[in-house]
Structure 1
Amino acid sequence: MCGIYGKVRFDGRHADVLEAEQACTALRHRGPDDHGVYQKGGTCLGHARLSIIDLSPLGHQPMTNEDGSLWIVFNGEIYNFMELRLGLEAKGHRFRSRTDTEVVLHLYEELGAGCVDRLRGMFAFAIWDEKTRGLFLARDRVGKKPLYYSHRNEFLSFSSEVRPLAADPEIPTDVDPVAIHHYLTFQSVPNPFSAFRAIRKLPPAHWMMVRDGNVEIRRYWQLSYTPKFPSRSPEQRADLEDRLVEKIRDAVRVRLVSDVPLGALLSGGVDSSGVVALMSIASGEDPVRTFSVGFEEKEYDELGYARAVSERYRTDHKEFILRPNMTDVLPVLVEHFGEPFADPAALPLYFITRIAREYVKVALCGDGGDESFAGYHRHKLNLLLRGADRLPSRVTGRIASWLPAPGTSSSKSPLWVAKRLFQTLSLPPAIRNLRFFGHFDRETKELLYTRAFAERVADADTEELVLERFRETDADNLLDTILYSDIHTYLADTLLPKVDITSMANSLEMRSPLLDHEMMEFAARLPADMKIRRLETKHILKKVFGRFLPPGMLQRPKMGFGVPLDRWFRGELKQKAYDLILSERAIERGYFREGQLRRILDEHVQGKWNWQYQIYNLLMLELWHRRFTDR
């Protein structure tokens, strides 16, 4: 796991080595073990290394092939690199190191852009070809590893993070109003946008070729949900369960290869608990190191479940309690994300990865299970509400308006849930699903925006980004269509950047067995009624993990990596929210009407409505502006 940077000029000027050195310094947290720069003519590549496989100097990057014609900077892990290496050696390729990076370099030499089809793992990399004067960039299938770029008339620059690009005086840092518009709903800036107009993200499962200033971008992988596996008989279903266990076992096994200490994040949920169980079985007598975070607020605390798994498998377990004053780290998170980012789960994740890094350099986690196997409550709700969009909106809207505002700020209150449901009943499934996980909906934005900002984003339709995903999938049922959309929106743009940025801020590599693309391809072809059955979410995953987990683990309510923002914004963080969101600087940015901002804050504090996520969204936007745009 590392940080990469590069710049290729088209204007005849030489690339600046000092600029690349400064970029490597800005990325040093991603790779504190080593750094290097390659420069020739108008091309410069930079790399900050976190050594995981082959800790020797032979793993130094930028790395070249035998004749110096190809140069690579690589971030990630390729889990089938030894298998690929054997095939390349049989064709005459010779290797100087034991690294997966060198395998990728030789695979590109053999297959060109087609090399990405053979890679199993997480990656973002760049290869410079001295002979063709071409730059090849690629990103893994689901977006585990980030890759930003800026294409100008004079050059193309790329980086693992926004900051090195935003610090380049040749790259304008004008804020993209459309990106902010989308962020307010998605809680992150969706690809291919970034918060800066001149900087973009290479989408997951895409590669880019750059020659003579011309850029070609192509998609190389798409998750398919058809044809479905036969599942009519009990024997066929039992066979699918057994095959799934083996797929996950294999995904865990290949992620245990490391030349440095390795552990796991254990939330106490089904997914991370199942991963830890399979890690422990694969590790034999060696105890797995596990790490958990909890809260003083008991309804958010999962430590008891994590301890049960730890005791069952005798892991070497460490715990950490998150308190409201831990939000003092928010400016640090803003610095690392480089864009507005409003998933509050980044807070506990930052702290637990910091604790874990004191003991290990690599950690496995359970991310991805909800998106492949339908684990969110909204997946179940969407199935229950099938056909509801045919109800007249005037009827459902009137019922919602009749329901009184809940007298509590808890999103778990039945009244809050009922009112929210009736507000979304008449919406198309794609938009309803977005409302369930989004922060600001269309109507709230219309009330919130100033006239000037509304005019600037009038042609930008946030909902269309989700509708596009619904249209492009080959899924033939509602549940799989929603899962496909979630994988390409929430997972790619919020969950995975959250994991990457918080862990790499602490120089910790995170590996996700449930995001193995071979396992995801298998899961996609499972029948929908094996994912949600009799309103039980993640039915098949719970069934197969139930073979390894303590009794009672599967029936427990889903909690996620929740943070008690609702209480904090009515208590310890109330004044901070008012001071930042209603500050003169924030109002002068011209996005929002002051009266509407005050209404949101007041209604939350008074317990009239639960605005916790919207307040956090606004807070993080203001903190981002103060770090990256205020002069």
Structure 2
Amino acid sequence: MCGIAGAVWYDERKALSEADLGRMTHVLRHRGPDDEGFYVKHLAGGNQPECGVALGHRRLSIIDISGGHQPMCNEEETLWIVFNGEIYNFRSLRRNLEESGHRFTTRSDTEVLLHLYEEKGLDFLADVNGMFALALWDEPRRRLVLARDRLGEKPLVYRCEPDRLLFASELKALLEVPGIGREVDPEALDAYLLYQYVPYPWTIYRGIRKLPPGHFAVYENGQLKVRPYWVPDFSHEERPDWEDAVEQVRELLRRSVELRLEAEVPLGAFLSGGIDSTIVVGLMQQLATERVRTFSIGFPVVEYDETRYARIAAEAFHTDHREFCVEPDAIKILPRLVWHYDEPFADSSAIPTWYVAEMTRQHVTVALTGDGGDELFGGYPRYWAIALAEGIHGLPFWLRWVFHERLWRWASQARQKSFWGRVRRFTEALHLPVGERYLEWIAIFNSCRRWALYTPEFQDCLAMAHPERFFLDTYARVAGRDVISAISLADLFTYLPCDLLVKVDIAAMAHSLETRPPFLDHHLVEYAGKLPGAWKVRGRRGKRILLAAFKDLIPPAIQTRGKMGFGVPLDHWFRGPLAELARGLLLHPRTIRRGYFRREAVEKLLAEHQQGRWNHSYRIWALLFLELWIRRWIDGEESPDLEGFLTPASQTL
């Protein structure tokens, strides 16, 4: 796993010097501590425009440790590549290329990409199975190709200016280039408060974009064209024989795990004790010749601790298991999260993910994960809830009216954390179409709450903003499917790449740990994505076909356990130890002067949470992370004094 950065320019005044490139790669050293490489060249005019190119690379050595130095070139030194990721099927691709006459000088998967491009041009990714972000420089054509893997496991950001294109694995690398502005994009900030992340193609900065998953970009003659290379058609379901489907799911996932065991360094797995990670570890142990190393993180608060289930799975598979019990320290970890995540990111499960990655890296360099199983096989409780709501929506009008009115009367006075508080939230959105209803449920700040939060001046900046379109447009592509399939597939292309995969990639790479999620093999995704939703969710139980495929592998206690989120007790923190921090930072005159939020709206939010009337913990966390991000990346405050906002008692958190 690696970090990449570079540029192509057509105006010498915008040339990237070796010193600039060195700074860009230096801030990515956590992604690749083992090696560093550069390629910088100026090309004279003639039949083509004069231009320059700079490619930089930081390497975490996983495959061909001694021979995989980058930037890497072909034999004629006409093609150069910097690559972040792993190509799992590189051995079979290499054999095919060798049969076609290609000769290799390394054992690296990176070199396979160069020869695939020689063979197929811009179609070179069609048969690639992997996770990656790459930049390939075609010198004869003076063409730069950027590409990102199908599901968005590896990040890639870019800035296209007149006569120059800059790219990097992380935003912080682009900010090392002289003259790059740090102006916050109001529409991106608005989207962040809706989703708890900034969705592609936005970044938090004006003028900087994320390359979407499954896309590549071609920069040639000063023009940038971005287009998809993978567009799976999930608009219609397929219904094979049930037993055949069960066997196919089992074989596709087994093959995916097998491919992801390729490494020349110590390898293990995250084991939460949930269904997905248990299946992955069970398959690993079946395929391995020695005991698999597994890692779990635990917390003193019982409702956030899954180690008892992880222990059941570890004992069933006889893994070399390690558990770590930690007391999350938000004061210590927040500044580090703000630096590594580059832009506002409010998924608080980044905290336990950070800890498990930190502990795991002490023993292995690669870890397999269970990411993607919930989206692909209907694992979230909200999927059966959306199906229930749709069933109610199909009742005769008078029954719907009675149901809504009765429940609303009972639930309207309930506290949000109570059962009836959840019922109130459920009924509030019943009148909306499916996509909008689901978006209302998952929103951190829905449109009404955001508009009430914003100052009139900031509202004026958002007159044309419609961040809801990011999810709704994705949902519209699969809206013809059953409701469970449509919603889960929409999550697969929005929530998964923008939140979950970002969370894991940044937390893991901060500790130079490579993670590999077998559920995201595109062959498995293409097959499972077409299966009926009823084969995945029945009643309140999800992952029906997955459980059928691996019933012999999953211990009974794990098969029947409920879904547990991977989180921290934010609700408690913001009523107790972090209450003063939140109030001190969010109501600080410096924060209010930014002009984004009305002071009285923030005060109301904090008061309602403190009094227990509403659980605003996720909203408070989103605002807190945003303010700390602004202080670090916009104001340039490298070491914020968080303890200065705390009472003496809260400093023991």
What range describes the TM-score normalised by the shorter chain of this pair?
Answer: over 0.9
User: Contact conserved, 1:93 with 1:106, CA < 8 A, in 2?
Assistant: yes
**Alpha-carbon deviation of 1:75?**
0.3
**Alpha-carbon deviation of 1:226?**
5.6
Distance of aligned partners of 1:387 and 1:555 in 2 relative to their CA distance in 1, 3 Å threshold: closer
Q: Report whether the alignment pairs 1:54 with 2:64.
A: yes
Aligned to 1:258: 263
Partner AA of 1:491 in structure 2: L
CA distance in 2, matches of 1:401, 1:153: 59
User: Contact conserved, 2:2 with 2:60, CA < 8 A, in 1?
Assistant: yes
User: Contact conserved, 1:269 with 1:560, CA < 8 A, in 2?
Assistant: no
**Alpha-carbon deviation of 1:209?**
0.3
Aligned to 2:144: 135
Distance of aligned partners of 1:397 and 1:185 in 2 relative to their CA distance in 1, 3 Å threshold: farther
Aligned residue among 112, 136, 149 for 2:158: 149
CA distance in 2, matches of 1:319, 1:615: 31
Aligned residue among 541, 566, 570 for 2:546: 541
Aligned to 2:474: 469
Q: Secondary structure at the match of 2:558?
A: coil
CA distance in 1, matches of 2:458, 2:407: 32
CA distance in 2, matches of 1:559, 1:379: 15
Aligned residue among 469, 482, 485 for 1:480: 485
Aligned to 2:592: 587
CA distance in 2, matches of 1:61, 1:397: 65
Residues 181-225 of structure 1, C-alpha deviations (whole Å, 9 max, x = no match): 000011000000000001100000100000121011111112323
Aligned to 1:166: 175
Aligned to 1:341: 345
CA distance in 1, matches of 2:192, 2:552: 40
Aligned to 1:10: 10
CA distance in 1, matches of 2:122, 2:506: 27
CA distance in 1, matches of 2:455, 2:401: 27
Any gaps of 5 or more consecutive residues in structure 2? Answer: 43-51, 637-653
Aligned residue among 275, 292, 313 for 2:280: 275
Q: Secondary structure at the match of 1:59?
A: coil
Distance of aligned partners of 1:40 and 1:192 in 2 relative to their CA distance in 1, 3 Å threshold: same
Aligned residue among 624, 633, 636 for 1:628: 633
Partner AA of 1:305 in structure 2: Y
Aligned to 2:640: none
Distance of aligned partners of 1:534 and 1:93 in 2 relative to their CA distance in 1, 3 Å threshold: same
Q: Report whether the alignment pairs 1:292 with 2:296.
A: yes
Distance of aligned partners of 1:372 and 1:216 in 2 relative to their CA distance in 1, 3 Å threshold: same
Distance of aligned partners of 1:149 and 1:219 in 2 relative to their CA distance in 1, 3 Å threshold: same
Q: Secondary structure at the match of 1:36?
A: strand
CA distance in 2, matches of 1:91, 1:171: 45
CA distance in 1, matches of 2:550, 2:134: 34
**Alpha-carbon deviation of 1:388?**
5.1
User: Contact conserved, 1:223 with 1:524, CA < 8 A, in 2?
Assistant: no
Partner AA of 2:192 in structure 1: Y
Matches within 5 A, 1:104-115: 104-115=113-124
User: Contact conserved, 2:24 with 2:177, CA < 8 A, in 1?
Assistant: no
RMSD (Å), alpha carbons:
1.8
CA distance in 2, matches of 1:192, 1:460: 14
Partner AA of 2:570 in structure 1: L
Distance of aligned partners of 1:327 and 1:265 in 2 relative to their CA distance in 1, 3 Å threshold: farther
Aligned to 2:39: 38
Matches within 5 A, 1:437-476: 437-473=442-478, 475-476=480-481
Distance of aligned partners of 1:164 and 1:122 in 2 relative to their CA distance in 1, 3 Å threshold: same
Matches within 5 A, 1:494-505: 494-505=499-510
**Alpha-carbon deviation of 1:555?**
1.2
Aligned to 1:21: 22
Residues 390-417 of structure 1, C-alpha deviations (whole Å, 9 max, x = no match): 879999589647634444x74xx31221
CA distance in 1, matches of 2:173, 2:166: 9
CA distance in 2, matches of 1:32, 1:345: 26
**Alpha-carbon deviation of 1:439?**
0.6
Aligned to 1:249: 254
Any gaps of 5 or more consecutive residues in structure 1? Answer: none
User: Contact conserved, 1:374 with 1:538, CA < 8 A, in 2?
Assistant: yes
Q: Secondary structure at the match of 1:552?
A: helix
Aligned to 1:194: 203
Aligned residue among 371, 382, 402 for 1:367: 371
User: Contact conserved, 1:397 with 1:422, CA < 8 A, in 2?
Assistant: no
Q: Decide which moves more: 579-588 or 323-332.
A: 323-332
Residues 370-406 of structure 1, C-alpha deviations (whole Å, 9 max, x = no match): 1111111111111111165687999958964763444
CA distance in 2, matches of 1:174, 1:17: 26
User: Contact conserved, 1:389 with 1:429, CA < 8 A, in 2?
Assistant: no
Q: Decide which moves more: 584-593 or 46-55.
A: 584-593
User: Contact conserved, 1:262 with 1:289, CA < 8 A, in 2?
Assistant: yes
Q: What is the aligned-residue identity percentage?
A: 46
Q: Secondary structure at the match of 1:117?
A: coil
Q: Secondary structure at the match of 1:118?
A: coil
**Alpha-carbon deviation of 1:60?**
0.5
User: Contact conserved, 1:500 with 1:510, CA < 8 A, in 2?
Assistant: yes
Aligned to 1:307: 311
CA distance in 2, matches of 1:162, 1:202: 12
Aligned to 1:122: 131
Relative to the length of structure 1, the TM-score reads 0.96
Aligned residue among 411, 427, 432 for 1:403: 411
Q: Report whether the alignment pairs 1:220 with 2:229.
A: yes
**Alpha-carbon deviation of 1:8?**
0.7
Q: Report whether the alignment pairs 1:72 with 2:81.
A: yes
Q: Report whether the alignment pairs 1:521 with 2:532.
A: no
Aligned to 2:496: 491
CA distance in 2, matches of 1:387, 1:630: 50
Aligned to 1:569: 574
Q: Secondary structure at the match of 1:385?
A: helix
**Alpha-carbon deviation of 1:444?**
0.7
Aligned residue pairs: how many?
622
Q: Secondary structure at the match of 2:297?
A: strand
Aligned to 2:49: none
CA distance in 1, matches of 2:360, 2:132: 22
Distance of aligned partners of 1:599 and 1:88 in 2 relative to their CA distance in 1, 3 Å threshold: same
**Alpha-carbon deviation of 1:545?**
2.7
**Alpha-carbon deviation of 1:443?**
1.1
Aligned to 1:182: 191
User: Contact conserved, 1:324 with 1:568, CA < 8 A, in 2?
Assistant: no
Partner AA of 1:315 in structure 2: T
Residues 431-480 of structure 1, C-alpha deviations (whole Å, 9 max, x = no match): 22122222111111121111111111121112222221122237522222
**Alpha-carbon deviation of 1:551?**
1.4
Aligned residue among 601, 604, 610 for 1:599: 604
User: Contact conserved, 1:224 with 1:474, CA < 8 A, in 2?
Assistant: no
CA distance in 2, matches of 1:253, 1:576: 47
Q: Report whether the alignment pairs 1:206 with 2:215.
A: yes
CA distance in 2, matches of 1:397, 1:55: 66
Q: Report whether the alignment pairs 1:557 with 2:566.
A: no
User: Contact conserved, 1:389 with 1:427, CA < 8 A, in 2?
Assistant: no
Matches within 5 A, 1:310-321: 310-321=314-325
Q: Report whether the alignment pairs 1:93 with 2:102.
A: yes
